[in-house]
Structure 1
Amino acid sequence: MQQLMEITRRGIFHHAKKLFLSEQAGRIQVQEFARKNAANALSLTNLVMGLSSILCTLNGQHLYACWFLCFGFLLDLADGAVARQLNACSALGAKLDDFADFTTFGIATSLLLQAHSVLSSIFIICYVMAVFIRLCFFSSGIPFVYRGLPCPYASAILSSTFVLTGGNCLFLYIAAMVMILFMTDQGNYPHDKILETQLWKKMVYIGGLLMLFCCPLQLTCIYYLIWCFSYTLFPTALWNCEY
Structure 2
Amino acid sequence: EPLAWTPGQSTSFFLTNDQSHAQMNEFSCKDVANALSLANMILGLFSIICSFCKRSHCACWMLLISFLIDMAIGAITRHLTICSKSGVELNDFAVFTTFGLASALLLGVNGPLNGFLAIIYILATSFRLCSYSTCKWNSNIPFMYKGLPCPYASCVLASTSLLTKGNPLILSCMASLMVLFMIDQSYYPHDGILESETWKKIVYLGGVIMLFLFPFSITAFYCLMWSLSYIFFPDALWGKAMCLKLQQEGN
Normalised-by-shorter TM-score class: 0.7 to 0.9
Q: Quote the residue 1:162 is aligned against.
A: 161
Equivalent of residue 51 in structure 1, options 45, 48, 55? 45
**Offset of 1:80 from its aligned partner?**
1.5
Query: Retained in 2: the 8 A contact 1:74–1:209?
Result: yes
Deviation at 1:31, TM superposition (A): 5.0
Q: Quick check: 1:36 aligned with 2:30?
A: yes
Any gaps of 5 or more consecutive residues in structure 2? 1-16, 135-139, 245-251
Matched, 1:206 2:205: yes
Q: TM-score, normalised by structure 1?
A: 0.84
* Structure 1 equivalent of residue 12 of structure 2: none
Measured in 2, the distance between the counterparts of 1:132 and 1:116 equals: 23
Inter-partner Cα distance in structure 1 for 2:183 and 2:132: 8
Among 60, 64, 84, the alignment partner of 2:58 is 64
Give the CA deviation at 1:216: 0.5
In the TM superposition, residue 138 of structure 1 has moved relative to its aligned partner by 4.8
Aligned to 1:146: 145
CA distance in 1, matches of 2:204, 2:66: 13
What letter corresponds to residue 163 of structure 2 in structure 1?
A: L
- For 1:213-232, list aligned pairs within 5 A: 213-232=212-231
State the alpha-carbon separation in 1 of the partners of residues 73 and 183 from structure 2. Answer: 24
8 Å CA contact retained: 2:30, 2:87: no
Alignment partner, residue 85 of structure 2: 91
Aligned to 1:3: none
SS of residue paired to 1:53: helix
> 1:112 matched to which residue of 2?
106
Alpha-carbon distance in 1 for matches of 2:85, 2:143:
17
Output the CA distance in 1 between the equivalents of 2:25 and 2:234: 37
Does the 8 Å CA contact 2:193/2:201 hold for their aligned counterparts?
yes
Q: CA shift at 1:136, angstroms?
A: 0.5
Q: Secondary structure at the match of 2:121?
A: helix
Mapped pair 1:192 → 2:191 = yes
User: Runs (4+) of structure 1 moved beyond 6 Å?
Assistant: 139-142
CA contact (8 A) 1:139 1:146 kept: no
TM-superposed CA distance for 1:149, in Å, is 0.5
The alpha-carbon deviation at position 195 of structure 1 amounts to: 0.5
Q: CA RMSD for the aligned pairs?
A: 2.2
Structure 1 residue runs without a partner (length 5+): 1-23
| Counterparts of 1:133 and 1:32, CA distance in 2 | 31
Deviation (angstroms), 1:171: 0.3
Structure 1 letter corresponding to 2:39: T
Residues 144 and 176 of structure 1, relative CA distance in 2, 3 Å threshold: same
TM-score (norm 2): 0.82
The Cα of 1:217 is off from its aligned counterpart by 1.0
Q: Deviations over 1:152-177 (max 9, x none)?
A: 00000001100100111010000000
Indicate the residue corresponding to 1:126 in structure 2. Answer: 120
Contact kept, 8 Å, 1:36 with 1:86, in 2: the verdict is no
Distance (whole Å) between structure 2 residues aligned to residue 188 and residue 87 of structure 1: 23
Structure with max Cα Rg: 1
- Say yes or no: does 1:103 pair with 2:97: yes
